[in-house]
Structure 1
Amino acid sequence: MRIALGVEYDGGGFLGWQRLSKPGEPGEETVQQALETALSFVANTQVDTICAGRTDAGVHAVCQVVHFDTDVHRDPRGWVLGTTSRLPPAISIRWCVPVADDFHARFSAVARRYRYRILNRAVRPALARQYLTWERLPLDADAMHAAAQALVGEHDFSAFRTVHCQAPHARRDLQEITVVRREDEVIVEVQANAFLHHMVRNIVGSLLLVGRGERPGAWIAELLAGLDRTVAGPTAPPTGLGFLGPRYPARFGLPSEVTA
């Protein structure tokens, strides 16, 4: 039996999603380790998970999707409540759906979506600071949005990938990117078929330079064409980044928030 889960987590206290090859010291846990430990307790046998997209240390997820295979029979409510009861407070199972054997959390996804939140005011935040990046200089969200449209489409995103990225190539189809201001927040949302390591944070880091007026809007298109990470903006902090979730074909019968 193949099971899909929707997982919500605050990544601030974890070393990212991926399970470590060796157990870490106390306080050095990953989200995958915590989730598999809880699932294995409920199943009374080892459970291994595969996720839609790995997140870095400090990055949050509104709806990470994972799947696992098991011969153990539990109803969906049992998987949700039983597993969540064994998880740390920063992780919660939102839903559970039995899926067809050809469903794959990573390879069946047709898109993935991220949101980056920037608090744009003169004074640093006291509330919700673990979910925001603070920028004290005024940002022109309209200029950021206009510049970002050069990234839409299928391109080589080498200028926005980390040197540690292990992807075999840098071509990605960026389907949509928006930058909007909502009072003191500037919000960047990006959807693509897949993302490179640090791709969203590197895009945001460059857009911030445009928003502050330090670079012209046309500079983003120049960066994309130049394929040179060393001349792009700095990597934006992880705290403002949240994985909204992947998107799957409707035939898999998953909740609407992760259905294309």
Structure 2
Amino acid sequence: MNIESLKDTLKRELPEWLRQDADFRAYVLDLTRQQSADRAQTEDRFDRLLAELRRDREDQNRKWEEQNRKWDENNRKWDKQDHRWEEQNRKWDEQNRKSDAMLAEMREEFLRVHAELKAQNDKHERSIGALGARWGMQSEQAFRDALAGILEKNFDVQVLNVNEFDDQGTVFGRPEQVELDVIIKNGLLILCELKSSIDKAGMYIFERKARFYEQLHQRTANRLIVISPMIDPRARKVAEKLGIETYGDSIYVERL
């Protein structure tokens, strides 16, 4: 009998032998146990494999958790950095606003000072012009026009120079031409005297001019104003008594 025939016989007869012969069955089981693990060993090996897989998974989870923690920490750092950048940008914006406001304030102050200096310079020029007019180096009309121009510029009015003939001699004691500056605004009548200088007698003459104009036109003036850089102290007392406002320059006149 060759090997192949023996194998075929064993395959055919072995199941029956194992069922019938207990000793033979035990022998075969003992023989095969040496070549393969029994159930307990198999279950133990399987448990170890599961435990190893579980440890691997837990280790992998720990690694993921650690990585997530690092990511979260990095995100917090980036958020903190973003917050710092936002705070810095806010400070820069605030500083820029303060700088812009300061520059605007400085510009306004510069313009104000420039305007004051120009007004003061113009006032000085008018004062010099008043001296010139008084001593004949400049015409009284030119000085009067300068004062009238300031009034028109500051108060958006028109100063009218009127000439009326006083045939009764009310102002000068004999018939004479009477010259007067008149401002009419929003129903108000303002009579002005614009001169390089005025003394006590000149103040009385202005008051008589005003009353002559009121009588001639049947209308009472709301204000009487004298503007002159050189007003005699005695003339000021007369003005106070007669209710005449006096100003050293057109820029000082109260709102019309």
TM-score by length of 2: 0.22
TM-score by length of 1: 0.22
- Point out the structure with the larger strand share: 1
- Point out the structure with the larger helix share: 2
Larger radius of gyration: 2
